[in-house]
Structure 1
Amino acid sequence: MTCTESRNGTRITLEICVDSPAGIGAAITGGADRIELCSALDVGGLTPGGALTDFAVARAADAGIAVHAMVRSRSGDFAYDTDEIDLAIREAIMLADRGVNGLVFGAARSGEVDVDAATRWMEGVRGGIGRSAALVFHRAIDLVDDPVAAVDRIAALGFTHILTSGGAPTAGEAHDVIAAMVARAAGRVEVIAGSGVRPENVAALVATTGVPAVHASASGIMGERDARVVAMGFASAARRTTDAGVVTGLKMALDNKSNVRQ
């Protein structure tokens, strides 16, 4: 079994999250199979703007890859009020109208999947976009008390994918939980492993969990050229950006049979 194949022989999808035109270009150049489009990756990703979405959809179409777009209007937790859910529905419809292939959303409250909020969002999106799209429950699942049991709730809601680090800060710390989530999903929903995924650990992650897809920022540190920008609070001193070389490294690791535990 090569690392481009999961335990059942299907090819592993490499998804790269990006938040800029440069990041989109780097992901495509490096060989990503899919883009997750966001803004503000430094806070875990927020809803991208319309112009950036148009740019990503056009570039991805030229490259023959899909775009999933984040639906998250603010940073912080995933306990949303009624107005925020209404906004998330409108944002999702806007993104779908601009041609994205999938929508990424999650809601959690008090250690559980917020079924009421997620149901309202799902119903609004399905009624508003008028076509099929991948529906991804994002890492809000990593804030629930039992992410394995939560797989059943998310599958029942109709989500097609779950993005998770297994409830740990990084996926590498929770191989056993992610493997249990894959087993629990039993093909009803696709589990994507993300957070801290790098070329040096992706092979072991796939081999031990059986995930059919991995998610990474593939970023490198890019120092801010103008110290005044940092001093004024417009950027962090260690700003990160998508690195085509890291994307290629992930792709190569997924193609390297010697990295996979048999």
Structure 2
Amino acid sequence: MDMKETARRLVEICVDDAEGVDAVARAGADRIELCGALALGGLTPSAALVAHAVRSGLPVHAMVRPRDGDFRYAAADIALADEEIRRLIDLGVAGVVVGAMADDHRLDLDQLARWRDLAKDVAIVLHRAIDLVADPVAAVEAVAGLGYDHILTSGGAPTAPEGVEGIAAMVRAAAGRLAIIAGSGVSAENAVDLIARTGADAVHASASIRQAWSDSRIAAMGFATGPRRRTSEARIVALCRAMGKGNIQ
């Protein structure tokens, strides 16, 4: 795969604060996945943060996840997620990122279908909940049938580089009906090889560094669960450069 072909693949960066949004915009990535609390795997971001991200001019896909933990949601969680989708659309996001499980091994396809209907005016992404199902490749067929636009996946493995074969199989199963985004463990050092080996339509990375708190009481008092994950503009630039795009002068 030559550089022109690689450059057609999108670079999406996930961030959870205003500083990260600004770094993505300066570095020249293609899209923002906006979350709250990346340290918890990403939750629904605040309205103010969403508005800030939308003002960046980049397409924003916003996480819809009303709580941390698993993706088997109670009725109260679902009601909250529904309202979050409506409000995110009103704030101008280009897409929403969702996921729900029926049990520990199957997607909740009925709920995913309802969210597709609710978010009909914007793109909809199934997140890495798909990596928990018994057969992620078979699940692609069902998700495509629901009319989803994207799937974010690590191929059923902890990281995308470990899940190369699974991602490639999911790309084949998608057959161009939706975009497969390869995410988890993606960096400037492995993104091009990942695209070449899988044919994924996009790569997804946090491009973050772990930064210890200057005051040790922050974690001890329960204000954080560990070091802060801080978006690194240099890492975004390096990833964009590797992919043949971005503000790399």
Q: TM-score, normalised by structure 2?
A: 0.94
Q: Distance in 2 between matches of 1:82 and 1:4?
A: 47
Q: Kindly tell me the number of residue pairs found equivalent between the two proteins.
A: 244
Q: Is 1:71–1:105's contact at 8 Å kept on the other side of the alignment?
A: yes
Q: Is 1:88–1:121's contact at 8 Å kept on the other side of the alignment?
A: no
**What is the Cα deviation at residue 237 of structure 1?**
4.5
Q: What is the root-mean-square deviation in Å for CA atoms of aligned residues?
A: 1.5
- What are the superposed Cα offsets for residues 137-184 of structure 1, whole Å, 9 maximum, x if unpaired? 111101100000000110111110000001111001010110000010
After TM superposition, the structure 1 = structure 2 runs for residues 26-175 of structure 1, keeping only pairs within 5 Å, are 26-59=23-56, 61=57, 65-110=58-103, 111-126=105-120, 132-175=121-164
Q: Is 2:85–2:118's contact at 8 Å kept on the other side of the alignment?
A: no
Q: Is 2:98–2:126's contact at 8 Å kept on the other side of the alignment?
A: yes
User: Which residue identity is paired with 2:5?
Assistant: E
Q: Distance in 2 between matches of 1:219 and 1:182?
A: 27
Q: Distance in 2 between matches of 1:235 and 1:77?
A: 20
Q: Distance in 2 between matches of 1:35 and 1:125?
A: 18
Alignment partner of 1:35: what SS? strand
Q: Is 2:96–2:119's contact at 8 Å kept on the other side of the alignment?
A: no
* Structure 2 residue 205 is matched with structure 1 residue 216: yes
User: Which residue identity is paired with 2:224?
Assistant: A
Aligned equivalent of 1:198: 187
Q: Percent identity?
A: 52
Gap regions ≥5 residues in structure 2: none
Q: 1:207 aligns with which of 190, 193, 196?
A: 196
User: Which residue identity is paired with 2:114?
Assistant: R
Alignment partner of 2:125: what SS? strand
User: Which residue identity is paired with 2:32?
Assistant: I
Q: TM-score, normalised by structure 1?
A: 0.89
**What is the Cα deviation at residue 109 of structure 1?**
2.6
Q: Distance in 1 between matches of 2:93 and 2:126?
A: 16
Q: Is 2:99–2:128's contact at 8 Å kept on the other side of the alignment?
A: yes
Aligned equivalent of 1:5: 5
Q: Residues 255 and 22 from structure 1, CA distance in 2 versus in 1: closer, same or farther, beyond 3 angstroms?
A: same
